[in-house]
Amino acid sequence: MDNNKFVEVKNLRKVYDNGHEAIKNVSFAVKKGDLVCLLGPSGCGKTTILNILAGLLNPTSGEILFDGKSVVDVEPKDRHIGYVFQNYALYPHMTVLQNVMFPLVVGKNKKPKADAERIAQKYMELTQITELADQKPENLSGGQQQRVAIARALVQEPKILLMDEPLSNLDARLRLKIREEIRALVKSVGITTLFVTHDQEEALSIGDKIILFNDGVIQQDDLGQNFYLEPNNYFVANFVGNPVIDNFKVTKIENKLKANDFTIDIADLDQSRFKRTLADGDYLLSVRPENIFPALDGLLQATVDDVELIGRERVLKFTNDETQARSLVNLEMPIKHGDQVKLKMRLDRVFLFTPDGERVY
């Protein structure tokens, strides 16, 4: 038994009846006790994967192992999983207590009512919903429903907890609070958790690891900070980061990278970061907004189109070569709409991508 591969997915593929290929050859592993986020834009296949892991959908091909054993042919109820649905899927005609008890009083592993109630009470205490026991779901707030759903998912003491966008129906402030609680809870229970979200900030804050999907393919499977510092490709660089990364079209000619109105000497770049030697041709130069800033010896000249305040910082928006770009500056910096500025980049922090998205620097 390999605790580093408590959940293992190998060459998973899912083609729907209408021919849509939702998952294309996906493989990954999750370490026991980890909280892993499946991140990606809507329609990227992350919920499909969760449904396949739960046994609610059949994969077209591929293998799924829980704790070293294949579960592809195992019914959902025998997979030892808990599932928290986006809409919570609480049974509206049952009280909170009945909802939490339900998994214990149906099916093959039925428990005596007293035992079931005792176990349910335990998890209701854990999720702090004991005093709601006799309420119907319709009378609960979103956050309370969320806790009931988690208690119900945990009550069978599953080995794996699957959560499908559990925070998307909550308002922004509550979302921050609950996500901390969820992390604390699953860590205290020690359960291996897969958490689907489309919100990068949520994934970065809650996940031990993040797997980023797009178009049914894993784009990057990594620790949170690496999505930021070392994106695998153009998609990852653009998906992660707020405000989003700036992209400039450049062309490599001889030892220079030429954009429309600035030129970078390749010798000025950090040679150790090159993944391979560059051929002449078109590239995309991407730089995070905090790594491009006004400076007297700036590289490119631009007019500030707009200034947006985001908390401690301000975003300067400018247009270069018909693309909108942003620069993140300190709140105090005295720049206003319409100012002419010179901008400088931290060349050891920029990325270079080929036109089809492969990272080369």
Partner 1 sequence: MKTNQKKAWLFLAPTIIFVTLFSIYPILRAFGMSFQSGSLIDLTWTGFNNYKYIFSDPDFWLALKNTLLYAVISVPVGLAISIMLAWIIFDKVKHQSLFETTFFMPYVTSTIAIGIVFRYIFNGDYGMLNFLLRNLHMPAPDWIDDPAMSLTTIIIFGIWSSLAFNIVILMGALRNIDPNYYTIADMYGASGKDKFWRITMPQLVPTIAFLLTMNIIGAFKIYTSVYALFNGQAGVGNSGTTAVFYIYNKFQTVGTPGVAMAATVVLFLIILFATFLQRKMMKKIGEN
Partner 2 sequence: MKRFRIGTIFSYLILFIFAFITVFPFIYMILGGLMNFQETTSIPPTLIPHHFEWGNYAKVFAKAPFARYFFNTVLTASITTVVSLFNSLLGAFAMVNLRFKGKGIIQIVMLSLLMVPGEAIIFTNYNTIAHMGLLNTYVGLVLPFLTSIFYMYYLQSYFGSISETIYKAAMIDGASDWDYIWKILVPMSKSGLFTVGLLSFISGWNSFLWPLLVTNEDTMRLLNNGLTAFASDAGSETQLQLAAATLTVVPILILYFIFRKQIIKGVVRNDLKG
Q: Counting contacts by CB under 8 A, is residue 45 touching partner 2? A: no
Interacting residues of 215 by C-beta distance below 8 A, sequence separation 6+: 24, 44, 45
Q: The sheet that has 217-222: what strands, in order across it?
A: 81-84, 160-164, 192-197, 35-39, 209-214, 217-222
By C-alpha distance, which of 211, 273, 170, 209 is closest to 40? 211
Q: Out of 25, 130, 135, 156, name the contact with partner 2 by CB under 8 A.
A: 156
Q: Counting contacts by CB under 8 A, is residue 310 touching partner 1? A: no
Phi-psi group of 265: left, alpha or beta (phi > 0 → left; psi -120 to 50 → alpha; rest → beta): beta
Q: Counting contacts by CB under 8 A, is residue 86 touching partner 2? A: yes
Q: Which is nearer to partner 2, 104 or 178 (CB)?
A: 104
Q: Counting contacts by CB under 8 A, is residue 92 touching partner 2? A: yes
* DSSP symbol at 267: G
d(CA 291, CA 146): 39
d(CA 347, CA 357): 19
Q: Out of 76, 243, 294, 357, name the contact with partner 2 by CB under 8 A.
A: 76
Q: Which is nearer to partner 1, 33 or 62 (CB)?
A: 62
CA 171, 125, 190, 50 dihedral sign is: negative
Q: Out of 3, 27, 70, 87, name the contact with partner 2 by CB under 8 A.
A: 87
Q: Out of 17, 19, 73, 138, name the contact with partner 1 by CB under 8 A.
A: 73
Q: Counting contacts by CB under 8 A, is residue 103 touching partner 2? A: yes
CB of 72 to partner 1, least distance (A): 10
For residues 191 to 230, the per-residue mask of contacts with partner 2, x marking binding by CB under 8 A and - elsewhere, is ----------------------------------------
- In the complex, the residues that contact partner 1 under the rule CB under 8 A are 55-58, 73, 75-76
